[in-house]
Structure 1
Amino acid sequence: MWMVIGMWDTSKDYRLMVAVKAVDLFRRTLESGGFRGQWKKKPALQAAGEIERILQGLTYCYMEPEDLASSPEVMEIKGKVEEIVEALGGEDWSRRFLEEAPREEREKVEENIARVRFFLNTLGNLDRRLMLGKISDPVIGVDIITGEVMSVGNHPVADKLHVCNVNAGGRSIKVVTNDLDVRENDHVAVALLPPQNFMGVTSEGMFLGVEGVLRDVDGEPGEMPRGIPLEALNETRNLVEEFLKS
């Protein structure tokens, strides 16, 4: 699936590069002032700053990815992610933010919540992606998982888009797709990408496919799918590259 190379240059590891950009996205999201209610903004930003410092130190460490995955630095990052979740208000932080949001701000708050989720997922699962070894490909910078479509609905204003709620293994994510053949109970492959707003609806990922969405993917929800065609990764690769350049 991916190109494997010899001596490892961590400064060009897409997992670390995407992680750095995800921290920046998270900080900008919190500083935008979109979240209301009782939560601890300053500790959350301080923890993000610590994660950024750790990532900067790892950029030129030249450690093997598998060794890096179990290093004290990466374990510290995971601990900081847990601190941020607590600072946001605990495991149900997103529900609380939505409840506090005025109706006119709900769309923006949902988009900000999706951005925070992307950050938490990207940094929280950094060790899992590093364990995949020496892979030099933009797609390794984000999680690609199996999902089970739980519901499919029409986009409120776009006839050629559907909004899907997807079981991503213990949590639900929202995916906007232009493949109108996707159905409830389909097993799909999902790239968990930086959120995109499609005319008022925020999508937390993208279904993989070649000529249409792959709808019978082998794997349990939340786990890495098996047997994905190489060409199904092309759009994910492009979107990760765009995120890094943004």
Structure 2
Amino acid sequence: MDTAKDARILVLEDALRHLNSVVSNRKLRFHVEYGRLGEALKKAGALFYEVKYSYVDAKSVAELEATQNLVSAIDDFEDIFRSAIDSQGYAPQSNSERETVAEVNYALRIVSRFQKKLVHYDDEPGYAVDLLAVEVTRTQPIVGARLLDECRCTDGSRIWNIVTNIEGVRSGMKLACAILPPAVMMGVVSEAMFLGGDPLPDDTPLGELANVSKGVLDQATAQVMQIIERMT
């Protein structure tokens, strides 16, 4: 396959750029060993180009030594990042801090699931990011934004903060969403985007979305293409 143009690989490249931006600009507001983070990123960056220009099939990309070592390097990054947070009991206080932590979490998620995307999904761009079924646990209007609501949602294992302009979203509703690079909207950090707008059936399992409709996949693909376009 043309690995240089595969959406999964380009989204991985974007994730590494997010991590590099956080480290090079020292965005983290807690003590962390930036030197070790930088070393992990330097190693991953060198390996990435072996992956991007490998021109082998998706399963073979997942099995490349370069791919495995890249993921391992970012695992080291995550260990350093999480250990620093845990040892200091850090919790972000400002929107800027929340956005930075969400940015790192997003990028780490992309890297950790990269091999699975190659092996278990086709090359439709929408599958390059995680598509989840979530349940809304709380909604509240955003002050000063007549058409925006802040929604707290669960995928069964963690909480996501999602800002939406979809009308009628309420607690208990299940919806499809895409996990995207975080954005601050009217002073609120949004970590994902609802897709489709129509509620999922009540018996839909939370977590990874098993039955992805064409409408949901098309919207996810549009979001992934925006990620890729912003890189150029």
The bucket for the TM-score relative to the shorter chain is 0.7 to 0.9
Contact 2:95–2:184 (Cα < 8 Å) also in 1: no
Match of 2:201 among 192, 212, 216: 216
Aligned to 2:190: 203
Aligned to 1:3: none
User: What do the CA deviations read for 1:53-75 (whole angstroms, capped 9, x no partner)?
Assistant: 22210112122212322443333
The change in CA–CA distance for 1:159 and 1:144 in structure 2 (over 3 A counts) is same
2:150 to 151, 155, 163: 163
Give the structure 2 partner of residue 83 of structure 1: 76
Describe the shift of the 1:46–1:119 C-alpha distance in structure 2 as closer, same or farther (beyond 3 A).
Answer: same
Q: 1:242 is matched by which residue type in structure 2?
A: Q
**Contact residue 176 and residue 198 of structure 1 kept, 8 A:** yes
Structure 1 position 34 matched with structure 2 position 22: no
Contact 2:22–2:28 (8 Å) recurs in 1: no
Distance 1:202 1:83, change over 3 A: same
- Aligned pair in 2 of structure 1 residues 61, 219: CA closer, same or farther (>3 Å)? farther
Q: Equivalents in 1 of 2:84, 2:193: separation in Å?
A: 24
Provide the C-alpha distance between the structure 1 equivalents of 2:85 and 2:202, rounded to a whole number of angstroms.
30
Aligned to 1:123: 111
Q: Distance in 2 between matches of 1:23 and 1:61?
A: 18
Give the % identical residues: 23
For residues 210 and 199 of structure 2, the distance between their equivalents in structure 1, rounded to whole angstroms, comes to 11
Q: Secondary structure at the match of 1:216?
A: coil
Range moving further from structure 2, 57-66 or 215-224? 215-224
Change (3 A) 1:50 1:156: farther
1:194 is matched with 181
**How many residues are aligned here?**
229
Q: Tell me the CA shift for residue 174 of structure 1.
A: 0.9
Match of 1:236, SS state, is: helix
Q: Give the TM-score taking structure 2 as reference length.
A: 0.88
Q: Secondary structure at the match of 1:192?
A: strand
Query: What are the within-5 Å matches in structure 2 for residues 93-172 of structure 1?
Result: 96-99=89-92, 101=93, 106-135=94-123, 137-172=124-159
Are residue 62 (structure 1) and residue 55 (structure 2) matched? Answer: yes
2:214 maps to 230
Change (3 A) 1:235 1:37: same
CA contact (8 A) 1:85 1:91 kept: no
Say if 1:77 and 1:145 are closer, same or farther in 2 by CA, change over 3 A. Answer: farther
- Give the match for residue 16 of structure 2: 23
TM-score, normalised via structure 1 length? 0.83
Unaligned regions of 5+ residues in structure 2, if any? none
Please list the CA deviations of residues 116-145 of structure 1 after superposition, one character each: whole Å capped at 9, or x if unmatched. 11101111110111113542x321221112
Question: Measured at CA, do residues 219 and 48 of structure 1 come closer, stay the same or move farther in structure 2, by a change above 3 Å?
Answer: farther
Check conservation: 2:54, 2:61, Cα contact below 8 A. no
Report runs of 4+ in structure 1 exceeding 3 Å deviation: none
User: RMSD of the alignment, in Å?
Assistant: 2.3
Given that 2:3 and 2:52 are in contact with CA atoms closer than 8 Å, whether structure 1 keeps it comes out as: yes
- Runs of at least 5 residues in structure 1 that lack an aligned partner in the other structure: 1-7
| Letter aligned with residue 125 of structure 1 | R
Task: Determine the C-alpha separation between the residues in 1 that align with 2:202 and 2:59.
Answer: 27
Q: Counterparts of 1:91 and 1:22 in 2: how far apart (Å)?
A: 21
* 1:73 alignment partner AA: A
